[in-house]
Structure 1
Amino acid sequence: MDTAIHLQGQSPHWQHLLSAQRQALEMAVARQPLEELLGFLATAGSDHLGGRSAVFLVDDNRETLLYGASSGLDARYIAAIHGFEIGPHSPSCGTAAYSGNLVVVGDVAADPLWAPFLALAHEHGIAACWSKPLKDANGVILGTYAIYHTQPRLPSDQELEAIELLAHTAALMIERSVADTTLQNTLAALQRSELATRELSHRVMNTFHVFEGLLSAKVRAMLDPQAKAATAEALERVRAMSLVHQKLFALTQNSEVDLDASSFLDSLVNDLAKAFAGDKNLRLIMSKEVGITLPAERCASLGLLAVELVLNAIKHAFEDGQAGTITVTLHRDVESVVFSVRDNGKGLPEGNLMPKHKRLGTRLIHSFVADLKADLQVQNLAKGAEFSVRFACSG
């Protein structure tokens, strides 16, 4: 089924499901744990489809399904099915993971593959089970998404579309988590060598491309203006972050782990200006001290912070159509590096950044500042506002 979901009349239930998907994507961008992401999607499925739900993960040997998250399932049932065998003679999830196809069992009691497990199903009120395999971008099975009902029934076309959306989103979450874990292990094993840095840039860049494709499809399919605008904003953020990793990947092909942060940031700011300020009456200026070098992973955190602060200024610092200037600076100060983004717009309400928990952008800013082990200073100027961070040259 095409992942550009055909929105069935934009019903309130469907709008709620799309909102849940956007929130899951935002949680992934903010690097929430996989268990929380899958639990959130399981709850969204139960709410939308009126049953209980679970996500299972394929084990490292690709022989069994391991419990990942659920909504509404009893702990005893979870314990009984953890480590369930993958194969052509297993019920629902085991067969779905083996075949790579959706398995719909409308009546568990009448399905021969469920026969050895009827007592377990009866004990926990499971009369129907629909299981969708979770696949990565290359079609490799990562797990399954299952919906359970207390009465025999088959899914409607709209319910099949909802399962498709939930399963596709869950697969993205798992794929990103697997990539992150692989990167962490690679970095530790190779002690942050050049190879590890290239692998990090390549895998993270690929992950952003997957998110871009998903969100682009959703924007094209949406009819509701508010839903379309919210998803377009998420797409904009992912594209901006993707710029950072594209540049890192290019720079680490023929260089050492330490990169020229001044040149990297200068190029990034130019791309941000073309991509996001080209149709506005705004100028982006880069003021840098040449020769500042940083490890590639610190350049990544600095670039992602620059993306958030520059986009924040473009979106919120000026009235519609107002001319203005956004200045990005990078320079040394004794043993530290100082980075700032300043605008000559309307300034911040009460001179403060919104509290950490209020908006995704604010949470990301604080997250990237923490990655740099930096101090964030925010202040209103005579005209406009300035965000600045100071961090050690190394460490």
Structure 2
Amino acid sequence: MESLIIAVLSRKRPPAVLGYLVSIALVLAVAWLEHLFPSALHRYLPFLLVVFFVALFFGRPQGLLATLVSAALGDGVPDFMFTGRVPGPEEALFLVLFLVVGSAMALLIESLRSVVCKLMETQAETSLLLDELAHRTRNDLMMVASVLGLQAMRQTDPHARSALESAVARVRVIAEAQERLRKSGKHGKVEVASYLRALGHGLAELLRDVRPITVRVEASPMDLDASVAVSIGLMTNELVTNAFKYAFPEGRGGTVQIVLERAGEGIVLSVRDDGIGAPPARRDGLGTRLVRLLASHLGGRVEPVTVAQGHRVDVRLPVKPAAATPAVSAPSS
């Protein structure tokens, strides 16, 4: 009901002449119905609905006109117009009250219309500014990623090059989230399923070189806060990067699967590969520590899962997403 009233108030008004004609026609129709079927309510009450409708759809002048005409016809054609009988104190009081209430209703609805229109204009301006901000932020991040990428290409130290390439990947994760945020039309929200598919495709192209490795994404479409989506993107980036780094040595091929689904009161991000598995004595690197830090920041936990082949990590997050459409599965190669 609220959305309907806001939509009516913010719409373009019909021509004024049409409003006057409709106002008079509605008042006459109600007066005729009251004459045929005497109402159990007071004679002026049905006319208040007419005043409300007219003021809502046509504006203040039409609402005031409907109030005046309703006051004149509130008891059928007033007796004093034909017999000269002066209305009694009670009738006069009801007439004055109706004029006051009807006029106030028309004025208040007009004021409400003005406020709604200003809010709609402000919302449109804010939406445009946020869109421009997201676009500029994404461009700035891509510029930073390009500079880091050029610096990585000049490095002869493999450790320094690897660190810079990891930094490039992380910056691109945030830039992609900004782009999704800009295109979504839901400021502050990111549709995470399409975001992860784009992220998986980008990681596959960046990391696999000539190895026959496929990245698959299975995600339930859901809207998440931008900050949460960025954290999930960063965790996905680190887990997939670790899978490429350790699970498929010596040109070996395979599949990395990214799954994001609802689980109870939250969501679960799962990254699994069918490679050789994680080295048993490997110390947690920067990427693994970053995943644990991000999960802890969101109130979640990281759970390595034993599987028959390969390696799997589940990240459980107590995040309540907004529902969207059915789950989507898509390969990124």
Q: Deviations over 1:318-337 (max 9, x none)?
A: 22111211100011112110
- The match for 1:386 is 312
2:213 aligns with one of 271, 275, 282: 282
- The match for 1:311 is 241
| Higher share of residues assigned helix | 2
The whole-number CA distance in structure 2 between the counterparts of 1:201 and 1:376 is 33
Structure 1 pair 283–207 and aligned structure 2 pair: CA distance change class (3 A): closer
1:248 aligned onto 2:169 = no
2:144 aligns with one of 193, 210, 213: 210
Structure 1 pair 354–202 and aligned structure 2 pair: CA distance change class (3 A): farther
The whole-number CA distance in structure 1 between the counterparts of 2:251 and 2:286 is 25
Across the aligned residues of Structure 1 and Structure 2, the Cα RMSD in angstroms comes to: 2.8
Post-superposition offset of 1:262? 1.4
- The match for 2:94 is none
Q: Is the 2:212–2:253 Cα contact (8 Å) retained in structure 1? A: yes
The whole-number CA distance in structure 2 between the counterparts of 1:233 and 1:371 is 26
Q: Is the 2:137–2:178 Cα contact (8 Å) retained in structure 1? A: no
- The match for 2:168 is 239
Q: Is the 1:269–1:284 Cα contact (8 Å) retained in structure 2? A: yes
Structure 2 residue matching 1:236: 3-state secondary structure: helix
- The match for 1:347 is 277
Q: Deviations over 1:272-315 (max 9, x none)?
A: 112222522211111122x3221010000000000000011001
Post-superposition offset of 1:383? 0.6
Listed as ranges, the matches of 1:122-133 within 5 Å are none
Structure showing greater relative contact order (alpha-carbon pairs closer than 8 Å, 6 or more residues apart):
2
- The match for 1:366 is 292
Q: Deviations over 1:345-376 (max 9, x none)?
A: 111233x8734xxx222222222222332111
The whole-number CA distance in structure 1 between the counterparts of 2:152 and 2:258 is 33
The whole-number CA distance in structure 2 between the counterparts of 1:313 and 1:362 is 11
- The match for 2:200 is 269
Structure 1 pair 205–383 and aligned structure 2 pair: CA distance change class (3 A): farther
Higher mean C-alpha deviation, range 325-334 or range 275-284: 275-284
Structure 1 pair 295–198 and aligned structure 2 pair: CA distance change class (3 A): farther
Structure 1 pair 354–199 and aligned structure 2 pair: CA distance change class (3 A): farther
- The match for 1:329 is 259
The TM-score with structure 2 as length reference comes to: 0.52
Structure 1 residue matching 2:252: 3-state secondary structure: coil
What amino acid does structure 1 have at the position aligned with 2:190? L
Structure 1 pair 382–207 and aligned structure 2 pair: CA distance change class (3 A): same
The whole-number CA distance in structure 1 between the counterparts of 2:267 and 2:234 is 16
What amino acid does structure 2 have at the position aligned with 1:387? V
The whole-number CA distance in structure 2 between the counterparts of 1:256 and 1:390 is 25
Q: Is the 1:353–1:362 Cα contact (8 Å) retained in structure 2? A: no
Listed as ranges, the matches of 1:21-32 within 5 Å are none
The whole-number CA distance in structure 2 between the counterparts of 1:392 and 1:247 is 24
Which blocks of at least 5 consecutive residues in structure 1 are unaligned? 1-192
Structure 1 residue matching 2:250: 3-state secondary structure: coil
Post-superposition offset of 1:200? 7.5
Structure 1 pair 217–349 and aligned structure 2 pair: CA distance change class (3 A): closer
Q: Is the 1:248–1:300 Cα contact (8 Å) retained in structure 2? A: yes
Q: Is the 2:149–2:165 Cα contact (8 Å) retained in structure 1? A: no
Q: Is the 2:149–2:168 Cα contact (8 Å) retained in structure 1? A: no
What amino acid does structure 2 have at the position aligned with 1:386? R
What amino acid does structure 2 have at the position aligned with 1:363? R
The whole-number CA distance in structure 2 between the counterparts of 1:238 and 1:200 is 21
Q: Is the 1:347–1:381 Cα contact (8 Å) retained in structure 2? A: no
Listed as ranges, the matches of 1:43-62 within 5 Å are none
State the number of aligned residues. Answer: 193
The TM-score with structure 1 as length reference comes to: 0.44
The whole-number CA distance in structure 1 between the counterparts of 2:190 and 2:164 is 28
Structure 1 residue matching 2:276: 3-state secondary structure: coil
| Higher share of residues assigned strand | 1
- The match for 2:229 is 299
Q: Is the 1:301–1:371 Cα contact (8 Å) retained in structure 2? A: no
What amino acid does structure 2 have at the position aligned with 1:339? L
Q: Is the 1:324–1:345 Cα contact (8 Å) retained in structure 2? A: yes
Q: Deviations over 1:136-155 (max 9, x none)?
A: xxxxxxxxxxxxxxxxxxxx
